[in-house]
């Protein structure tokens, strides 16, 4: 995604992610913006997950400041093998996320190298004030009519349909990974567990744990079933 007037150093995705490129020959080869030196962040993170923290910050653009979120994967310990594993996961997430462009997908704006040895790289995306689905429902449940709920479902379905058209399985579609912009539009986010399916009728080229959702939060209670380790299919995403 290009931004006229900006002068970021351009990194070619294929070179930056050479370890993964052989598995994605059909994906478009485009530039990824290096925003190092243009991002300032708050002193404390705004949210945290199992392996990453989210920080609120500002992108100092030529046209003015832009609110952004910075996702930084936590690297614990000094083990070289541990760092290699986390770097590989980071490259995979960037590879998948950078290729996506859709109204219901939170875009990746670029990356920044300025967060210390234990936090070497941050992934930069737009900041959304409305937060995720869980918080959105808590704040607006009393005023959400059936049409609003249907619109949210349609937004999520449109984002998923786009992912699956590219043979991408999200792999972690939970309420915390569905975000909302100021207009109430749902955006799918967090592609750290996403996989690219080599055979659209077969399993993805990576296998990892999947969280199964039994009841959609729009309809009431949320229930976790179990974790299992097996190949992923497009059908794993809908809930």
**Domain-by-domain residue ranges, the chain?**
9-126, 133-236
Question: Domain 9-126's class?
Answer: alpha beta
Bridge partners of residue 7, in order along the sequence: none
pLDDT in tens for each of the 239 residues of the chain?
333 333 333 343 344 444 444 433 333 445 678 888 888 888 787 887 667 788 899 998 888 788 999 988 777 666 777 777 777 778 878 888 888 899 999 999 998 886 655 556 789 999 999 999 999 999 999 999 999 999 999 999 999 999 888 888 888 888 889 999 999 999 999 886 655 554 434 443 333 333 333 345 555 444 333 333 444 455 555 55
Q: Which of 34, 42, 78, 172 is catalytic?
A: 172
**What is the value of pTM for the model shown?**
0.70
User: Could you give the residue ranges of the DSSP H alpha helices within 1-132?
Assistant: 13-16, 18-21, 80-98
Tokens found for residue 77: 């310990």
Q: What is the dihedral of CA 109, 110, 112, 115, to 10 degrees?
A: 50
Same fold, 9-126 and 133-236: no
d(CA 52, CA 73): 4
- 125: Cβ–Cβ under 8 A, 6 or more apart, which residues? 68, 69, 71, 106, 107, 108, 109, 189
* Catalytic site includes residue 81: no
Please check whether the domain covering 133-236 is classified as CATH 1.10.510.10: yes
């Amino acid at each position: 995604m290009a931004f006229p007037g900006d002068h970021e150093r351009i990194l070619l995705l294929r070179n930056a992610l050479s370890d993964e490129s052989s598995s994605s020959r059909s994906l478009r080869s485009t530039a990824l913006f290096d925003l190092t030196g243009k991002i300032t962040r708050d002193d404390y993170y705004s949210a945290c997950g199992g392996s990453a923290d989210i920080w609120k910050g500002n992108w100092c653009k030529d046209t003015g400041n832009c609110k952004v979120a910075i996702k930084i994967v936590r690297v614990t310990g000094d083990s070289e093998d541990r760092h290699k594993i986390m770097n590989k996961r980071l490259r995979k997430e960037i590879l998948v996320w950078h290729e996506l462009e859709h109204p219901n997908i939170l875009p990746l704006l670029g990356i920044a190298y300025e967060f210390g040895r234990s936090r070497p790289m941050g992934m930069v995306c737009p900041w959304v004030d409305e937060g995720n689905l869980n918080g959105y429902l808590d704040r607006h449940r009393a005023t959400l009519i059936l049409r609003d709920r249907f619109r949210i479902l349609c937004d999520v379905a449109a984002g998923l349909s786009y992912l699956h058209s590219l043979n991408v399985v999200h792999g972690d579609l939970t309420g915390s990974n569905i975000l909302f912009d100021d207009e109430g539009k749902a955006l799918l986010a967090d592609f750290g567990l996403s996989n690219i399916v080599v055979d659209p009728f077969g399993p993805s080229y990576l296998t990892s744990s999947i969280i199964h959702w039994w009841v959609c939060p729009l309809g009431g209670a949320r229930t976790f079933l179990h974790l299992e380790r097996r190949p992923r299919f497009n059908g794993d995403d809908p809930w």
